[in-house]
Structure 1
Amino acid sequence: MQFIGKGTAMNGRPNVVLVHGAWADGSSWRDVVERLQADGYHVTAPQFPLTSTADNVARLRQVLNMQDGPTIVAGHSYGGHIMSALGNDAPNVIGLVYVAAHALDQGESLDALLSQEPPPPALAHLYTDEQGFVWQSQDDYVHHFAAAIDSVRAKSMYAAQQPIAGAALAEPMGVPAWRSLPSWYLIATRDEALPPDAQRTFAGRMGATTTEVPASHVAILSHPDEVAQLIQTAAETRTAMPAGKATG
């Protein structure tokens, strides 16, 4: 994505930065981007390398540095891991929105989380290439990961999937950003990649403002109205309250 100058909050609204997950890219946010832009938000949905936590966070910081003013960061799936890894150093970030996203606590890793139970259907047949990157099979992607969206679009997403480095899954989380920033969480109740009960656990322990939708893992595609609305709610709430961690 090309930048010309800094992104500036529009009409007094915060900027919005969207973080994609593994096996996807920034275009997965397209429908949400269009809705937020139509409502006057300045939105950025960059590409992340998915090579390591450090590389991913460096890209997020690069994009955040291009924002002029307060910013809401929203992450889907592994994107929640990336934005959590901002830690306590997230200038201008005023709120976090998790969409069927990982929200690990300090010392936890995705590998450890995934090893606790049999893999969910969407992750049952992952395979690793010679360079150590993890890919999804087409059947699992279309019928489980991207369930509830048109199969033609799901196959197109599968063809463009961005694999994640296996080593990144083993990296432990530092102090997560959600410990110092107010958070919102959209739980996808028909998720076959990140179990809904795990999502509820994440949301509960971070004290997130939570909503549930009958969506598969790719709620950003099947329920873009609800996702955009939650991001707008976070933005409107944060413009009406002091910076810092929400209470209550």
Structure 2
Amino acid sequence: MKRISIVIVLILLVSAVACKKAENTDTETAPKEEVKEVVSAEAPLNGLSAEEEKDGWMLLFNGTSTDGWRGYKKDHFPAGWKIVDGTIMCEGSGRGEAGAKDGGDIIYDKVFQNFHLKLDWKISKGGNSGIFYLGQEELDFIWKTAPEMQVLDNVNHPDAKLGVDGNRQAGSLYDLIPAKPQNANPFDEWNSIEIIVYKGTVVHKQNGVNVVEYHLWTPEWNEMVANSKFPALNAEWADVASKGLIGLQDHGDDVWFRNIKIKELD
């Protein structure tokens, strides 16, 4: 009886070893699954994606250099602006539009006509700034010649409650058309905007949503300007140029800009 038991045990052991060997052989000969590299289509911070490069986008700020930028009606980049952690930052002077001694608005030194502009902005608590387009250097301030997309802390800056129907809040065509829906993020949080200008048609996008649309040089445009806060400038200001400069405003408050890029439209 013992002899039979031993034989059975040996048979079982031999079977187990054979099965294990067969299992290992199957594993070794099984084809390996192909691993495909995943390439992100998103653009890097202050950079262009491969698709954007192919599509003709131009980077206006690379996160480290002020190349292409200078002060409005100046031949240098003002000391009141800094490159900080991959952003163009205006250091607040606490003096509002009077600004710092060597501050003031800045412009990119190239004229654009039909274009699609993108950038991100972040404002300090109670802060105010703006993004100008189609600006000229004929007068003492760019705001006297250019439409402005408002940059604002809607909660803490009093300008948010002035004007008409919220037309001085973030994303608005300043003092003319309110951004609707009003979807700006609070102070110290980033907002992404787009401004599209094409043969007089202008669109403001804020955080992925169309918030303003209007048409330059029309009777409706002239009427809006006539009812704005700048009556002394109405005749000149209404006649916005068909091409001009991109500008960022020094309104005396801390404000940050990044991911500034543009595509010229045919």
User: Which of the two has higher C-alpha Rg?
Assistant: 2
TM-score (norm 1): 0.29
* Bigger fraction of residues in helix: 1
TM-score (norm 2): 0.28
* Bigger fraction of residues in strand: 2
